Amino acid sequence: MANWNLTPAKAEAEVANASGPFPVVAVQYSSGQFYDFDVFDSGWLAAESHAGPPAPFRHLSVKGDTIASLAASRNMRPESFLALQAKLGADVAVLASGPLPAGTVWLSVNP
């Protein structure tokens, strides 16, 4: 439920006092420029939310991939992409050795 006329305390009370067949499990009480301000029922949140698979995510290059094209696909510069590969544990020597054969493993923090 969104109600921008509530204070944080009133939003907490709405969630804490929810009941009935359709209880309020979350209240958005303000909308900021870059994110919303919300209160969630901790029991509901624990039951419904879970982390996705842990990074790093493994990818394989395809014919024609280059470090520059892989970096661009992640909105990165090639040197930053290679630094991230090193940090994530990829074989940077293979990645930086020249043209990438299809099937070369590279890693990312997002799928």
pLDDT in tens, 77-103: 999 999 999 999 999 999 998 889 999
With a CB cutoff of 8 Å and minimum separation 6, the contacts of 11 are: 3, 27, 28, 29, 38, 39
pTM > 0.95: yes or no? no
Place 12 in a pLDDT band, splitting at 50, 70 and 90.
Answer: very high
| 14's tokens | 């709405």
| Mean pLDDT calculated for residue range 53-73 | 93
The yes-or-no verdict on residue 53 having pLDDT over 80 is: no
Q: What is the pLDDT of residue 48?
A: 85
C-beta of residue 7 within 8 angstroms of C-beta of residue 14? no
Place 1 in a pLDDT band, splitting at 50, 70 and 90.
Answer: confident
Q: E strand or H helix at 22, and its extent?
A: none
Q: Which residues pair with 26 in a beta bridge?
A: 40
The yes-or-no verdict on residue 52 having pLDDT over 80 is: no
The yes-or-no verdict on residue 7 having pLDDT over 90 is: yes
Is residue 40 classed as helix, strand or coil in its secondary structure? Answer: strand
The yes-or-no verdict on residue 47 having pLDDT over 90 is: no
